[in-house]
Structure 1
Amino acid sequence: MKKTGIMAILLAAVWFGGMGCHAQGMQQPNRPAKVRPSHQMRLIIDNDYAGDPDGMFQLVHHLLSPSVDIRYIIGSHLRVGDVFDSTNQTADNAKKHIEAILEMMGMTGKYPVLAGSNIGLSDPETPLHSEAAKAIVKEAMRDDMDLPLYVVCGGGLTEIASAYLMEPRIADRLTLVWIGGMEYTDVALPPPGYARTEYNTAIDINAVKVIFNKSDIKLWQIPRNVYRQALVTKAELNLRVKPYSAVGAKITDMIEHILNRMAREAYILGDNPLVLVTALLSIFEADATSSPYQLRQAPFINDEGMYEINREGRIIKVFNQIDNRLMFEDMFAKMQLLQSQ
């Protein structure tokens, strides 16, 4: 059927359906009106905001996306001795960075901001009882909300793994979206000079083992070969983000500083796919329609954070490609609209 035919049917349904509801409303004046949802999902954002500044673009992009109901924003830890922050307080520092962004955007106090644990799991059996992990459990176990819950992680998996170990029943009450994991060798090759253990996996290998090897949490994975596709140039950021707001100028300067030091022009905003596959779903048969993925068995994660075949692994969604046009054009537009607010 042509799109025009579909639209005609939809318009007719809206028109005549509205007339029918009006007539029923006249006959049943006490019938409660159906409330239209104001969001398509609940969201818990978890990222290592003291690290790679790509997370700042993801945070601002999500904050500017009205279709998601942000319940908590969690600042999580980095690897020990990370080049971006070598202190032992990286989760606490991440929280400070979140609060600074919210202040610049006039959103102080609008969202609960929590620091995760400053360390990773000591083993795949023992949770860290942080306030962030407890918040995930609390939100997941609510019975008064119909909106689906998504936990989006752009760094390590310490908090969601701890939450699962604390309360395994959360597994069938949320979807985890994770930026991380190495390539699947039947799909892509590693990048030149690659690290044997993928960056976000290395933050907390024990936590990744919990999610892949122990849990049955519904998982959408955006592995290294896919998040590396999210390339944007310094010229684009200076033209389409920096001039329109203080926060846009701030986060662009963070990227530009790194690019200038490295004599490069393009940067991977590898956390923005978290926005693409949550806030920017299709309206009919909701899905990340323009970003191809496959359903495959979850691998077993070994002690080095590498994949091994797991013939009993549950089925997970693994993205093979991302729609950069949709993702970045939406981000640029929302950043530019800040000027009129």
Structure 2
Amino acid sequence: MTTRYPGLTDSFRLERLHHPGGKVRMVLDTDTYNEIDDQFAVIFALGSPERLKIEALCAAPFHNERSDGPEDGMVKSYEELQRIVRIAGAAGRIPIYEGSRGWMAGPDRPVESEAARRIVELALASPDDDPLYVVAIGAITNVASAILMEPRIIGKIVVVWLGGHAPWWDHTREFNMIQDVHASRVVLDCGVPLVLVPCMGVASHLLTTKAEIDLHLGECGAIGRYLAETYAACSDDHYAYSRVIWDISTIGWLLDERSVPCRIVHSPILNEGGTYSFDQGRHLIKMAQHVRRDAVFRSLFDRVRKLAGQAKGQSE
């Protein structure tokens, strides 16, 4: 049976896609153990309480050399989220939920999880004028499953997703998008207000080095040491080496749209084989076009320093 979604108008979507000027309610859906960038994004969000009210942290599945399969990846991400909130002094203040233990088996077959159910609950509880921002920095299974479980939530949420590559790239076989193609198509096709941040060609500008991380975060208490050690462990050779920290682009956009400039485009069609097609009759989304690298990293460093100072004050 084909899922029927509410018929949102593009004028409604465009209104929802205006950058939020004040404090927003958000869920952060993350494959935290996948590599090293999710850890930076989670702490970036935790360090921004004046702008971001994190109502849930959700563990997303992943499968690469750091996991035995999507379930193992989700469990490891759940455990890493627990570790991060302890280090940040936020244990017990922000609920953490286990996500999908596998990929969607078909275009209308959601995967049951406590994360997906919680997204539905939080979305349905949202006032009409205060949407829930669902920020996804991994495979989009949890979010797509929530939408399929309760299609009405597309009028209650704004999805901000790091996924795919820029439209001018020769393919979009990007890790977050291609792991669960069914879920990716749900989010691209259902009409939900969507801010899409491509990886190659956009977020790929967010490069940093061990020297920069050590200089600006190495002295920032347990939080800074955790990030510095996480970065250091990503390579055995840091000589003339830099690493992209993709996922902070989504938090950077939420905090300051000028640091991640976007434009309105028609939602792309995800083809078999991991390429895009384009149809001018499709609904509108917002897509990031560029990342102002220095502005995003300055904001990250400032907020990690502030968070570390707060943690030090609580311990004294």
Same topology, TM > 0.5: yes
Q: Which residue matches 2:288? A: 319
Contact 2:36–2:234 (Cα < 8 Å) also in 1: no
1:309 CA drift (Å):
2.2
Aligned partner of 2:195 in structure 1 is 220
CA change 1:40–1:85 in 2 (3 A) is same
Conserved? CA contact 1:141–1:173, under 8 Å? yes
Quote the offset at 1:311 in angstroms.
Answer: 3.6
Give the superposition deviation at 1:333.
1.5
Counterpart position of 2:14: none
What's 2:16 paired with?
none
Tell me the amino acid that sits aligned with residue 299 of structure 2: D
Does 2:78 align with 1:95?
yes
For 1:195-210, list aligned pairs within 5 A: 197-210=173-186
Distance between the aligned counterparts of 2:219 and 2:282, measured in 1?
48
TM-aligned CA deviation for residue 254 of structure 1: 1.7
Provide runs of 4+ in structure 1 moved above 4 Å.
143-146, 261-264
Identity %: 26
**Residue 292 (structure 1) aligned to one of 261, 264, 267:** 261
Match of 2:140 among 132, 138, 157: 157
Quick check: 1:259–1:267 contact (8 Å CA) kept in 2?
no
TM-score by length of 1: 0.79
How many Å apart are 1:248 and its aligned residue?
A: 1.6
Q: What amino acid sits opposite 1:218 in the alignment? A: P
Counterparts of 1:162-177 in structure 2, within 5 Å, are: 162-177=145-160
Superposed displacement of residue 161, structure 1: 0.4
Q: Taking CA–CA contacts closer than 8 Å with sequence separation of 6 or more, which of the two structures ends up with the larger relative contact order?
A: 2
The answer to whether the 8 Å contact 1:205/1:304 transfers is: no
Structure possessing the higher radius of gyration over alpha carbons: 1
Deviation per CA, 1:73-108: give whole Å up to 9, x if none.
0010103xx022234411111110000111112211
Q: Aligned partners of 1:309 and 1:105: how far apart in 2?
A: 43
2:134 matches 1:134: no
Equivalent-residue separation in structure 2 for 1:236 and 1:295 (angstroms): 34
SS of residue matched to 1:46: strand
Matched, 1:44 2:27: yes
What is the one-letter code of the residue matched to 2:52? V
1:329 to 291, 298, 310: 298
Pair 1:255-2:231 in alignment: yes
279, 290, 296: which is aligned to 1:310? 279
> Which stretch shifts more, 234-243 or 136-145?
136-145
Q: Which amino acid aligns with 2:61?
A: H
Matching of residues 224-243 of structure 1 within 5 Å: 224=199, 225-243=201-219
1:246 equivalent in structure 2:
222
Give the CA deviation at 1:300. 1.1
1:68 corresponds to: 52
How far is the alpha carbon of 1:289 from its aligned partner?
2.9
User: 1:167 Cα deviation (Å)?
Assistant: 0.7
Is contact 2:136–2:162 with CA below 8 Å preserved after alignment? yes
Q: Could you tell me how far 1:256 is from its partner in structure 2?
A: 1.3
Deviation at 1:148, TM superposition (A): 2.8
Contact 2:139/2:176 (8 A) holds in 1:
yes
1:78 counterpart residue number: 62
Q: Which moved more, 1:49-58 or 1:289-298?
A: 289-298
Which of 247, 250, 253 aligns to 1:271? It is 247
Distance 1:146 1:50, change over 3 A: same
Q: For 1:178 and 1:330, how far apart are their aligned partners in 2?
A: 20
Q: Give the 3-state SS of the residue equivalent to 2:94 in structure 1.
A: coil
- Unaligned segments of structure 1, at least 5 residues: 1-38, 282-287
Q: Rate the CA distance shift 1:132–1:142 in 2: closer, same or farther, 3 A.
A: same
Query: Which AA in structure 1 matches 2:205?
Result: Q
